[in-house]
Amino acid sequence: MSLTPLLVAVALNAAHGRSLWRQFRLGVVTGVVYFCGTLYWLALVMATHGNLSMVVAGLLAFGLAAYLSVFVGAFSCLVGLSARRWGAGGLWLAPAFWVATEWLRAWLGAAFPWVLLGSSQTPVLPVAQFASVTGVYGLSALLALVGTAAAALAIRRDSRTWRRVVMTAVLLIAVATWGAWRLGRSELTSHGRPIRVGLLQGNVPQEIKSKAEFRDAIIERYITLSRQSIASGAEIVLWPEASMPFYFDFEPALAEPIRRLAAQAHVPFVVGSDEFERGQNGQPDRYYNTAVLVDANGQSRTSYRKILLVPFGEYVPFQKLLFFVGPLVEAVSDFSAGTDPVVFDADGVRFSVAICYEAIYARMARTFVGNGAELLTTITNDAWFERSSAAYQHFDQAALRAIEQGRYLVRAANTGFSGAVDPYGRVLTKTQLFEAASVTVDVRLLSGRTIYGLTGDVVAYLSLLLSAIVVVKGRRAPGSDARPGSRG
């Protein structure tokens, strides 16, 4: 329903022969309102942790919202072209246009797929099950279809429109009914090998993580939490992103207590640590955000380097254009991206580790599962977000990956939320924000594939194809006297 006012405005403008530029502006204004409302916390993060004044941080956050809004503007133009060419019938292509522009937003330019429309349905479990068939873009299409039905009905209430509205309602009821049936069966919760995972939440303030005087206390806190987790029967212990206040594989004396505990307990750990490669001069050259698998003998067996980096967190996009954000550039760690989607194997337990931002990418989880992951894990440091809605958004978006892939997902976050969801998106356990915690949870290793896991983003690709066709045919649009409801 959130798209309904925009769709009505675009359709009426198309009916009166208004320019595509005007329709683009309608979309941009809508997008700015949407992204400023959902991403307001970016200004707080950049001001607090990026050494920027609140004014500059606010302008930068607004600039990102405006950039993302360009894709909503493109959506409006596509709807306008379609409405001009096919009247009211063209309006019903809006779900495909929305998905196409969402997909482009996730992969072009700054590549920021936060708060995709479909992600809003994660807590609505019967509807969210649709993601196991179509992925998040199918959910986005479904929501856009509901908004389109409302817009079409607001514009014209003829018999054809009513039939399409009824068909939309039937589809929504069918999806929710099937989803409720799928939840009721919950077959995946009785399949696969059970395993107990320990999740650590150190609650280390961001401002002290890199200070040498706090290093020993941070290490001791995580060792204590690890012992609690092991005492509760954990078979694998997951530490948060960048939990190590040193380079784990390059400072053996500091890593020794951790390795010793893993070997004594005979329990593998996954630790988050920065890593570097040396250049020709022997000095650190390239830095990586890394997850390291410490095996049950205390040895580093495998590491995974984060592939998808956070804009304005791990790199600053468009640095030449953003010449006025020097303090932010200095504050942001300049990481390099990894290239290999490694799946860890801990004595036959095959699992992936998405680091922070990567958990919002459906394609990333699908790649991990395709490489043999039987359990999805994610490690993150959401201390940047303070108590804003970002931490809630991040958890829900990660939870949708479990439904899409038919896997349990466990999450260790420095300040929360740490927790686990089952393959149907049901929350098994979830910590509170900003408290130290050691949590153990029972999950299962699963090997089957969902329909979405097998087919991928077919909904997005078909939407892109349809949008391209509309752009070509829209150039031969009829005259400006077309009216919504006059065709299709």
Residue of 97, 92, 101, 95 lying closest to 71 (CA atoms): 101
In this prediction, residue 487 carries a pLDDT of: 42
Catalytic residue among 102, 235, 241, 314: 241
* Cross-strand partners of 418: none
| Comma-separated ranges of CATH 3.60.110.10 domains in the chain | 193-446
| Residue 241 designated active-site | yes
Least-confidence region, from 89-93, 215-219, 318-322:
318-322
* Cross-strand partners of 273: 290
Share of the chain above pLDDT 90, in %: 75
Catalytic residue among 306, 314, 374, 404: 306
Catalytic residue among 102, 356, 374, 404: 356
In this prediction, residue 316 carries a pLDDT of: 66
Judge whether residue 68 has pLDDT over 80: yes
Residue of 137, 30, 118, 15 lying closest to 73 (CA atoms): 30
* Cross-strand partners of 274: 289
Least-confidence region, from 165-174, 295-304, 305-314:
305-314
Report which residue type is found at 144. Answer: A
Judge whether residue 328 has pLDDT over 60: no
Q: Say what the alpha-carbon torsion angle 62, 63, 66, 70 is, to the nearest 10 degrees.
A: -160
Position 278 confidence tier, pLDDT thresholds 50, 70, 90: confident
Position 484 confidence tier, pLDDT thresholds 50, 70, 90: very low
CATH superfamily of the 193-446 domain: Carbon-nitrogen hydrolase (3.60.110.10)
| Residue 211 designated active-site | no
In this prediction, residue 485 carries a pLDDT of: 44
| Residue 306 designated active-site | yes
Residue of 119, 131, 83, 206 lying closest to 405 (CA atoms): 131
